Amino acid sequence: MTVTFYWYPKCGTCRNAKKWLEANGVAVEEVHIVENPPSREKLEELYKKSGLELKKFFNTSGMKYRELGLKDKVKTASDEELLDILATDGMLIKRPITTDGSKVTVGFNEKQFEETWK
């Protein structure tokens, strides 16, 4: 199995997720989330396949998120508005995002990776 792995190489969580995938025999096609962020259309597709709330796609601990004051905006904005915001900057997107085209995980949780990617 090969997954598309949207990541930021300087992110420790991303590096841990990548190590887990490789250790468990999952081939990884890396996409640098800042240099090549997913398009708005791709984000919408990932969001719909993930089954998660759209606000889970925001990197809430990121400097950019705080600078833009998105904490309150995320609570009231429509999905359309949120997708538009996410598509403006890869640093706003929670990472890593891992997908095989049908399943999607956001962030790294070892138990979730066991259930989804093993």
- At 1 the pLDDT is 86
What's the structural domain count of the chain? 1
Segment 9-19, tens digit of pLDDT = 999 999 999 99
Task: Return the half-sphere exposure (C-beta side, CA atoms, 13 A cut-off) of residue 61.
Answer: 5
The mean of the pLDDT values for the chain is 97
Over residues 46-70, mean pLDDT: 96
CATH number of the domain where residue 30 is located? 3.40.30.10
- Against a cut of 0.85, is the pTM above it? yes
Mean predicted confidence (pLDDT) in 7-29: 97
Q: Residue 53: give the domain boundaries.
A: 2-117
Contacts of 58 (CB under 8 A, 6+ apart): 65, 70, 74, 82, 86, 92, 93, 94
How is residue 8 written in tokens?
């930021």
CB 97 within 8 A of CB 6: yes
CA distance 9 to 112: 21
